[in-house]
């Protein structure tokens, strides 16, 4: 019997002490991954602020504190749509990055067949 996964959704979390050098390591790695693996040209830009828990995305709004992106990846010569959300924040003395990658449930308002 072959198992199938429909619309996978993966959450990844990374942390970096604010006092560790280089201080931009976490953001640089995020930009490297999303630009190389997902061909995203918009960079994750950080704006430091004071406070205990701070959303760090430079262009954030009241309703949205994350960088949204979408791309296609190749798997077995098939192009698959992937969307992602990168949410940078600081909690006291630690930088944190929440990265969500997922395969949309619908494409062009149609459910997609699963592949074995």
Q: Please state, in angstroms and rounded to a whole number, the distance separating the CA atoms of residues 88 and 66.
A: 7
- Going by their DSSP bridges, the two strands 53-55 and 9-17 should be labelled as unpaired
Q: Please state, in angstroms and rounded to a whole number, the distance separating the CA atoms of residues 108 and 7.
A: 15
pLDDT of residue 61: 84
pLDDT of residue 38: 87
What does the pLDDT profile of the chain (116 residues) look like in tens digits?
677 777 889 999 999 999 999 989 999 999 999 999 888 888 888 898 889 889 898 888 888 899 999 988 888 888 888 999 999 999 999 999 999 999 887 766 666 665 54
pLDDT of residue 81: 87
| Residue 103 and residue 82 in contact, taking contact as beta carbons nearer than 8 Å | yes
| Residue 30 and residue 86 in contact, taking contact as beta carbons nearer than 8 Å | yes
Place of tokens 């992106």: 69
pLDDT of residue 108: 65
């Amino acid at each position: 019997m072959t198992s199938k996964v429909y619309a996978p959704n993966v959450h990844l979390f990374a942390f970096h002490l604010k006092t560790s050098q280089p201080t931009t390591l976490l953001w640089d790695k995020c930009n490297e991954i999303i630009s190389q693996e997902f061909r995203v040209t918009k960079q994750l830009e950080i704006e430091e602020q004071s406070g205990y828990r701070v959303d760090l995305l430079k262009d954030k709004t009241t309703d949205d504190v994350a960088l949204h992106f979408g791309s296609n990846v190749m798997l077995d010569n098939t192009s698959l749509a992937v969307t992602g959300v990168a949410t940078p924040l600081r909690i006291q003395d630690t930088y944190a990055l929440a990265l969500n990658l997922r395969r949309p449930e619908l494409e062009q308002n149609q459910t997609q067949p699963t592949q074995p």
